Amino acid sequence: MEAEEFTLVRDMLRTFATRHRVGSADEIEPRTRTAAQKALDELGLAELRLTSPPAATAQECALLAEEHGRQPLTTSLLGTALLAPELLRLLGTTVTASRPTIALAHDLRFPQRPASPLVAWDCDAADCALYVAPDGIVRQVPLGPPTRTADLLRAVRTVSDDGDGDGDGEVVGRLGFEDGQRWQSYALVVVAAELVGAAGSFVELSTDYARDRRQYGRPVGSFQAVQHLLADATVLVEACASATRYAAWCLDHEPPGRALAAARVAKAEVNTSAVEAVYAGMQVFAGIAQTWEHVAHLYLRRVLVGAGLLATTADLLPALADPLAAAPDGDRSGTDGHPASATAEPETTR
């Protein structure tokens, strides 16, 4: 995409986000969710990665995800407009439903076991979900009733199946080893980018608050302890942004294996640094940030859930130390043509 064209797309998303952001948890209503999702769909962002070659690079999509994360929005951009279209592009196919999202394990990580219960993630306006099994088989599965996570902004639904929780559904295709790596890398980068946007925006909000809030006759931002807190938070956000943007660049320019390693590093960095940055912002806001009416907890919830989304740091570090150790069923060679898991087997579920 030409620079001018991307700038136009990003500006449209920025305008949409400013118009449809929610100011408190009380504003999260079905009517406003529907209106916001319809407005987002009209931007046509789901078309950016459907073609081969795609109209937008992975770097551009990561920047759009980052922009979406900067505001507390109830819309499904990642699941329905970025991740599901990318999965279909890698498969070289389409689905009968007009709007798929992606299915994750019930703990919101990449599915690790063939019989793992599933949920459809980020699924506002979705008709079905695409489930990537550990062996690379991709199935289209129907959606069940809504369920909830700590993130109040994001729609999550159970996945309907035959009752055994294995996510049975129509086979859409199969990812080869390298395409599996590309899919996992792209998913990790896009999720990390949204968390970078959320953490960065919240630190900016807390900095503005420190300038305006007065205590002992002075702005609290004039106190050295608060300045150090915000400076450290800014450094953490910059570390997240640098790692994520480099991983997005690798998706466009490096082999799949190297891109996956960079994506794992980025998500591991974001899982830690974004949470710490938001915690710092919560301290600056102090007691008001703990109230239901304030917007702070919406950012905190998104980042806390995002830190465990797809892969936790505890999952990623062993995979980075020994990528073959994450291969399912003891397969340490990957010679069967199926993508090795992006994470180690999780020890517990939420």
- Same domain, yes or no, for 199 and 265? yes
Structure confidence by residue, pLDDT tens digits, 294-341: 999 999 999 999 999 999 999 999 988 876 544 433 343 333 344 445
Q: Is residue 342 part of a domain?
A: no
Which pLDDT does position 75 carry in this prediction?
A: 96
- Same domain, yes or no, for 205 and 133? no
From 174, 197, 214, give the residue that closes a domain.
174
Q: Is residue 337 part of a domain?
A: no
Please name every residue paired with 104 in a beta bridge, in sequence order, or none if there are none. 119
- Same domain, yes or no, for 80 and 44? yes
Which pLDDT does position 327 carry in this prediction?
A: 45
- Same domain, yes or no, for 12 and 146? yes
Q: Which residue has the tokens 């699941």?
A: 79
Which pLDDT does position 54 carry in this prediction?
A: 87
Rg (CA), the chain: 20
Complete DSSP assignment for 187-208: HHHHHHHHHHHHHHHHHHHHHH
- Same domain, yes or no, for 285 and 161? no
| H runs (alpha helix) in 213-329 | 224-253, 256-285, 296-308, 313-321
φ, ψ (nearest 5 deg) of residue 156: -135, 140
- If we measure between CA atoms, which residue out of 307, 259, 303, 315 comes closest to residue 151? 303
Contact at 8 Å (CB) between 65 and 77?
yes
Query: CATH number of the domain that 310 lies in?
Result: 1.20.140.10
Which DSSP category does 329 fall into?
G
Q: CA–CA distance from 297 to each of 9, 33, 221, 243 (Å)?
A: 29, 19, 21, 25
Collapse the DSSP code of 73 into the 3-class scheme (helix H, G, I; strand E, B; otherwise coil) and give the result: coil
Q: Is residue 146 part of a domain?
A: yes
Is residue 53 reached through a cis peptide bond, with omega within 30 degrees of 0 on the bond before it?
yes
What is the dihedral angle through the alpha carbons of 133, 139, 144, 148, rounded to the nearest 10 degrees? Answer: 40
> What is the rounded end-to-end Cα distance, in angstroms, of the chain?
40
Q: Is residue 336 part of a domain?
A: no
Which pLDDT does position 164 carry in this prediction?
A: 45
- Same domain, yes or no, for 12 and 152? yes
Pairing relation of β-strands 128-132 and 100-105? Answer: parallel
Q: Is residue 150 part of a domain?
A: yes
Please name every residue paired with 219 in a beta bridge, in sequence order, or none if there are none. 214
Which pLDDT does position 216 carry in this prediction?
A: 87
Q: Is residue 228 part of a domain?
A: yes
Number of domains in the chain: 2
Cα 191 to Cα 188: distance, rounded to the nearest angstrom: 5
- Same domain, yes or no, for 234 and 103? no
Q: CA–CA distance from 109 to each of 104, 153, 272 (Å)?
A: 6, 18, 17
- If we measure between CA atoms, which residue out of 203, 211, 282, 206 comes closest to residue 240? 203
- Same domain, yes or no, for 132 and 160? yes
- Same domain, yes or no, for 190 and 53? no
Contact at 8 Å (CB) between 97 and 128?
yes
From 122, 153, 174, give the residue that closes a domain.
174
- Same domain, yes or no, for 269 and 293? yes
Q: CA–CA distance from 217 to each of 208, 220, 225, 226, 349 (Å)?
A: 17, 9, 17, 15, 49
Collapse the DSSP code of 108 into the 3-class scheme (helix H, G, I; strand E, B; otherwise coil) and give the result: coil
**Exposed/middle/buried for 171, CB within 10 Å: 0-12, 13-18, 19+?**
exposed
Q: Is residue 164 part of a domain?
A: yes
Which DSSP category does 135 fall into?
T
**Exposed/middle/buried for 168, CB within 10 Å: 0-12, 13-18, 19+?**
middle
Q: Is residue 344 part of a domain?
A: no
- Non-local CB neighbours of 198 within 8 Å, separated by 6+ positions: 69, 70, 274, 278, 299, 302, 303, 306
- Same domain, yes or no, for 212 and 260? yes
Question: What's the predicted TM-score (pTM) here?
Answer: 0.90
Tell me the pLDDT of the chain (350 aa) as tens digits: 788 999 999 999 999 999 999 999 999 999 999 999 999 999 999 999 887 788 899 999 999 999 999 999 999 999 999 999 999 999 988 766 678 999 999 999 998 876 678 999 999 989 999 999 988 999 999 999 999 899 999 999 999 754 444 446 889 999 999 999 999 999 999 999 999 999 999 999 999 999 998 888 888 888 889 999 999 999 999 999 999 999 999 999 999 999 999 999 999 999 999 999 999 999 999 999 999 999 999 999 999 999 999 999 999 999 888 765 444 333 433 333 444 455 544 333 33
Which residue range forms the structural domain that includes residue 168? 3-174
Residue 232: count of CB within 10 angstroms of its CB: 14
What is the dihedral angle through the alpha carbons of 252, 258, 259, 263, rounded to the nearest 10 degrees? Answer: -150
- Same domain, yes or no, for 187 and 286? yes
